Every structure is written in C-alpha cells, then in structure tokens.
Structure 1
Amino acid sequence: MNKSRVLVQMSGGVDSTVAAAKLVEQGFEVIGVTFAPYEPKQITCCFSETDAKMACDKLGIRHIYLDLKELFQRNIIDYFLSEYMQGRTPNPCTKCNPEIKFGRILELADELDAYWLATGHYANVRYDENLQRHIIYRSENKSKDQTYVLWGLKEEQISRIKFPIGNYDKTDTREIAKQLDFMNFDKDESQDVCFIPYNNYKDFLYQTQEETIDNLQDGYIVFHGKIMGKHKGYPFYTIGQRHGLGIAYSEPLFVKRIIPETNTIEIGTEDEIYSSGLIAHSVNLIKYDDLSEPKLFEVKIRYNGKGSMAYCQMTEDGNLHVQFLEAKSAITPGQSVVMYENDDLVGGAIIEKQIESE
C-alpha cells in the first residue's frame, strides 16, 4: 500500500483544513474526503461539502464526497435513541470513531491505495518498541485534547493514523489558516453532538420518539421510597441532574437512578449520588493486552470531567471493574469510562452501572 498517500477527513472546518495543508507541506500525496452523516441543516456546522471542496481546490488536491447517511442512521443515531430509551446517556462519538471515521473511511483509504488516514483531532500517536504496538496519547494542549473519544480504536486502525495538528493550540490553528488565506479560518466550532440541532436533546428525542415518550409521561419521581411528583418522560433526565425536577425540598436533590422498567426516577441528596466504583462493558484495551490484575490508572467518566485515580481490572465475564480511591459523583450508565497511564490512552468501556458506596 502507498505510504506516501494519505486520505484526510475534511469537514470543511479549520482543523481538518490545516491538517490537510500540513500534510501537503510535508510532501504527501493528499486526498480529501467529506462524508455526509445526515441531511445538512442550516444550523449544522459539523460538515460542509462546499467548504471542504473549496479548501481542497485551494490546496490543489483531489476531493471525494461520500454519502454515509444510511450507515450513520443505523449505527449511530439509532444507537443513540435506543440508549436514551433504555434510561442511559450515550456518547455517540465514541461509537462513530471506530465504526465510521476510522472504520468505513479506512476502508475507503484501502480502495484508494492510501496507507495513511488523517484527521484534525487534537491527539497523538506513537509506536512503542517495548510494547510492540501503537499508542494514542494526549495532546500537549490539554484543554482541546480529544483522546477520550478515541478509546474504541484497534491497533490496525491506530497504526495508520496521522494527527497533523495534534499538539496545536486552536488559536495557532486559526492563525495558520488565516495566513494560508483559507476563508474558514474563523469558522465556528463544531457542536457537541453533530446531528442534534443546537444540542437540544429533548427536542430531538421528542421529535423522533414522540409517541413512545407521550406514553412515558406521568411516571413517578421517588425519594427514599416516597413519591415526590411526576416526571415528563425518563429519557429527558440523566444521572446527576438537578434542575427541572419540580421538587421542593430542604436541600438540593439530584437524579440518582433511572428505572425504565417501572417508568420511575429515583432522586437523592448530593451525598447519595456518589459511588465508589463502576462496572463497564464493551471493553477495548489499547496499551495492554489484558488487565487480569488490578492496575492503578487515571480514569475519566466524562469528556470534560477531571480524571480520578482508580484501580481497574477485567472480570472473568469480560467486563471492566473500576474502584475509585475517592467516591465519584453521578457515574452515568451509557457514558464512557476511559483509562490513562500518564498521558497514554490505556483503553475504555461503556458504563453499565455504579457500585454503591458503603
């Protein structure tokens, strides 16, 4: 396969544009690809075929447009909706990356005889001689680091990735684009979940699941076994949520547990939403082959959350057991638990349940 040829995912945004420009500068034969995950809307800033094509034309490189709407709907959006309807809070980016951005797009790279696949992620990759494998590690720009959403990648994917702007500061990225006279140098940042307009989860869920949610309204909100009120449909709530409960009490109350089977939401005080650990499924390890013995890692349970030290170990049934040194608040089923050793991404999994503090 041609190691001088690289396929660059280009959304039309500044990050992927500068990534492509850097690779051209380094002497690679660069091909840009823009994939459509859904029907574009005026308020969507996550991809623009027009802006990507303009950037490619300016760089003098080939541009390919790929329609992946059906695949994205089936693998990502339907998954997202299913998780919410089961009372969980998913992170669709952690599924999109291994299955589409570094899955289906890597297949396109194969078709084009391009060994490398590049993106505008703020992350890094290196080959570790001792471990005989490729390791993803955090960006020097910790405020923009995106390794959290890359935990699902496999060695055969990681070994072919380039992150040309992995350690850049966003200000520097924009300045480079401006100096190169790209019109998108001041384009808005992408939103959290690309397919949800204005990040309004409630509207999106209601528009796509209206009949089901209408039948879920008027379920009970329970505190210490006592009915405190009724909710508006459990998919509209997440663990740790405080606002919108409509419950008056002497101290703040938070969503502690969502029980779809009984259409019930349990709430508790701030102290009661802390957990000592968690169990997670769909484990993917990047740095090590196994975790049969407990190891101490820095663990993140939210994209923008602060990491905490915890002992991590695989169980006999293939799940991941995480035991925090200090109890954590609002551990949320459906979210990703991601492990780090220093700056190296060890791996991750999807949170199944909390382990209650004693």
Structure 2
Amino acid sequence: MHDLQKNNKVLLGLSGGVDSTAAALLLQKEGFEVTGLFFDVLGDQSEAKEKAQNAAKELNIDFIYTDVSKEFECNIIEYFCNSYLVGETPNPCVKCNPTIKFKTLLEEADRLGIYYIATGHYAQIFYDAEIKKYFVKKGDNEKKDQSYMIYRLNQSILSRLLLPLGTVNNKEITRDLVREKGINNADTKDSQEICFINDNNYVNFIKNRKSFNEVNKIGNFIDKEGKILGKHQGLVNYTIGQRKGLGITFGKPIFVISMDKENNTVTLGDNEELFTNNVISNNNFFIVSQEGNSNLPMRYKGKKIIAKIRYSAKPAKAVLHGLSDGKIQTTFDEVQRAVTPGQSIVFYENNIVIGGGVICY
C-alpha cells in the first residue's frame, strides 16, 4: 500500500468541460476537498486552460496547471503518427491514460499530500476482496461507458482512483447537475475525438510533422491474389474498412481489407472479406497478472468472456487462447467486422474489465 495516509482530499483532472465539472460537484457533495488539475498536452493550450480555470473558480476549488507537452510529444504524438505510417490505427487515449494522464495525477497528488485522484470518466472501480485486486468496471451509462479507454491502469492508480460519474446513467443528468449549480459550461459540446487535433484531420496533422517522403510513399492497391489494381497515396491515408476516398472505382463497393508496410501495399476487397472470428493481440495486460507479464492467465484460458475490438464496437462473446509467442487469440462466437491493427481489444467478465491487448492482425 502507498505510504501516503488516506485523507478527504482529491486531485481531479479538470478540463473545463461538463463531465469533469460534474465530477467535482459530486465529489464535493460527498465531502471531499477537491483540487483541479489541468493538463496542457501541447504547451500552448491557453484557451482551454482558461476554461478550466474559470470552472475551478465557479466550483470554488483550488486549481493547478501542469505542462506535459514534452512527454506527450514523445510518448503519444510520435506513437500516433508512426502508427498511421505503418498502416495501423492508434488508440492515443488508451496509451495516454497510464503513461501521461493518470501517472501525472498520481505524481502531483503525492507532491501535494493528496491521497485520492479522480477523473470524469464514465466507468467504475470494483475491488475484489478475495484476490485483493482493484478492477475497472463498466459505467452505468451504456452509451458513454469509457471502461475500454482505461483498461491498462495498474493497481497503484486504481487503488486511489475515484470515478464519480460511474453511476450516472444519462448524460443529461450530468448536464442538469452542472446547470442547477449555475455553472456556465453545462451546455458545452462533448470534447472532440482526438484532443490534440483541433479539426480532427489526422492526415494533415501527420503531414505537418513528418517528411513528405514518409507520408506520401506511393504504393500499389492490390487484391487478395496480389493483382495490382492501381496506386495508393501512402498508408497514412487509409484505415481498415474504409470505402470512400480511395481514388479508385470498380462499379461496386470496395473496401480496405489490409495493409502491408513491408511491401507498401493496400489490399482491397469485398465487404465479406472484412469479417473474421479470430483476433490476435500482443502487448497484453491483465489485472490479475504481475506487472510486465503479458501472457494469458490460467484462470482465463478457454473461458467464455466478453470482448470489444474497438471503443464503439458492440461487446461480443468470445474465448481466449494463449499462443506460444506470448500473443493471445480471441475467438468470437460471431464474426467481427473490420478488425484493425493498432486498436485495442478489451476483455470483460460480468461487466468488469479483466484486461486487453493491442490488435496485431
């Protein structure tokens, strides 16, 4: 157990949006002394900082600011750009949460003598007294559940984490809570999908950071037999399952089926070719495993679980199988569409996150 004594203080990740503001209000209602922490991931987010600062004033809580832009550039933005360059689709939030966001929350909480940390995620924390482990559990709001995004958090984080929005089952309840207190951000729009890209145009973002030759590495469109169908404009422009914007027509719907960095090819095919029962993942993480051990725990081998192949995917029944090289094969009862390398596959048992991994094929 951490040597910091438990107290009624909590350090909350405060973006200035409605979710983190509502989280602060719920924590205050429970008697916590809340301090808001704003993460500047780009080093120049003055407008966003001001919104968070204003929210802190209206909440009457202390506010601190931290510039994490150097770490974010090295660990998240580089990873994000490089993933697309090799034909993968990254999960920046999944990577950021354990390595930047929650790590920083914990470090700052320790520095300030604060025991608890909190965020506005729609998820819950579950403690299994039998095995003495903390787990992430799905939030009661099925539409907003964010348990997928925080599946890689370790025990040092989970044991001190509060998620006050976990039991809020409707986003309008969140907005009403903020509105009732007369706080100005009650009706602000939900945050954008990628927090560090203002216009959500990830291709332009990467083009501004990488060399022309890296981004515009022209190669061949091929079919599954290897027949050349035309020229693609660089792997960064495509994702698995993509149909529009290919710059090539066949008189019928055609989709990106796979990408090969080594040969710089993009394989095109029919919609039916996007479906599979089997998903292979590496860099796996399980709550019950010792830190750094990515092998499939014995307790889950051959056991029926629930899995999601992306954040927006419908949870589906599956069985886990350990492979000899440390990878894991997830075999679904029903076929899954557009399994995408680079995305996370997350495993659940009774709405509790037991682990997950990064899809490699």
Instruction: Give the TM-score normalised by the residue count of structure 2.
Output: 0.92
Residue identity matched to 1:147: S
CA deviation profile, 1:117-137 (whole Å, cap 9, x unmatched)? 000000011211223211211
Picking from 315, 318, 330, the partner of 1:307 is 315
Residue aligning to 1:333: 341
Residue identity matched to 2:305: F
Once the two structures are TM-superposed, the CA of residue 39 in structure 1 deviates from its matched residue by 4.2
Once the two structures are TM-superposed, the CA of residue 214 in structure 1 deviates from its matched residue by 5.4
Residue identity matched to 1:142: E
CA deviation profile, 1:161-207 (whole Å, cap 9, x unmatched)? 10111122211111111111111111111111111122112221222
Residue aligning to 1:278: 279
Picking from 8, 19, 28, the partner of 1:4 is 8
**Counterparts of 1:161 and 1:333, CA distance in 2:** 30
SS at match of 2:262: helix
- Aligned: 1:291 with 2:297: yes
Once the two structures are TM-superposed, the CA of residue 153 in structure 1 deviates from its matched residue by 0.7
Picking from 311, 331, 345, the partner of 2:353 is 345
- After superposition, the Cα gap between the structure-2 partners of 1:214 and 1:309, relative to the gap in structure 1 and judged at 3 Å, is closer
Contact residue 138 and residue 351 of structure 2 kept, 8 A: yes
- Aligned: 1:81 with 2:81: yes
Once the two structures are TM-superposed, the CA of residue 275 in structure 1 deviates from its matched residue by 2.1
Residue aligning to 1:233: 234
- Aligned: 1:152 with 2:152: yes
- After superposition, the Cα gap between the structure-2 partners of 1:352 and 1:300, relative to the gap in structure 1 and judged at 3 Å, is same
**Counterparts of 1:314 and 1:107, CA distance in 2:** 35
- Aligned: 1:202 with 2:203: yes
Contact residue 35 and residue 65 of structure 1 kept, 8 A: yes
- Aligned: 1:16 with 2:17: no
- After superposition, the Cα gap between the structure-2 partners of 1:300 and 1:348, relative to the gap in structure 1 and judged at 3 Å, is same
Contact residue 303 and residue 319 of structure 2 kept, 8 A: yes
Superposition pairs of residues 43-192 of structure 1, within 5 angstroms: 48-168=48-168, 169-192=170-193
Range with greater deviation from structure 2 (144-153 or 280-289): 280-289
Once the two structures are TM-superposed, the CA of residue 60 in structure 1 deviates from its matched residue by 2.4
Residue aligning to 2:293: none
Runs (5+) with no aligned partner, structure 1: 354-358
- Aligned: 1:324 with 2:325: no
Residue aligning to 1:356: none
Contact residue 85 and residue 215 of structure 2 kept, 8 A: no
Identity among equivalent positions (%) equals: 39
Once the two structures are TM-superposed, the CA of residue 57 in structure 1 deviates from its matched residue by 2.0
- After superposition, the Cα gap between the structure-2 partners of 1:214 and 1:176, relative to the gap in structure 1 and judged at 3 Å, is closer
Residue identity matched to 1:201: Y
Contact residue 86 and residue 235 of structure 2 kept, 8 A: no
**Counterparts of 1:198 and 1:147, CA distance in 2:** 26
Residue identity matched to 1:257: S
Contact residue 215 and residue 236 of structure 2 kept, 8 A: no
SS at match of 1:175: helix
Runs (5+) with no aligned partner, structure 2: 291-295
Residue identity matched to 1:333: P
Instruction: Give the TM-score normalised by the residue count of structure 1.
Output: 0.92
SS at match of 1:350: strand
Residue identity matched to 1:291: P
**Counterparts of 1:19 and 1:215, CA distance in 2:** 44
Contact residue 10 and residue 114 of structure 2 kept, 8 A: yes
Contact residue 288 and residue 297 of structure 2 kept, 8 A: no
CA deviation profile, 1:215-243 (whole Å, cap 9, x unmatched)? 502x1101132211111111110111111
Could you say what the CA RMSD is over the residues aligned between the two structures, in angstroms? Answer: 1.8
Range with greater deviation from structure 2 (20-29 or 186-195): 20-29
**Counterparts of 1:79 and 1:163, CA distance in 2:** 28
SS at match of 2:83: helix
**Counterparts of 2:173 and 2:216, CA distance in 1:** 50
Residue identity matched to 1:10: L
Range with greater deviation from structure 2 (297-306 or 275-284): 275-284
Range with greater deviation from structure 2 (148-157 or 291-300): 291-300
SS at match of 2:115: strand
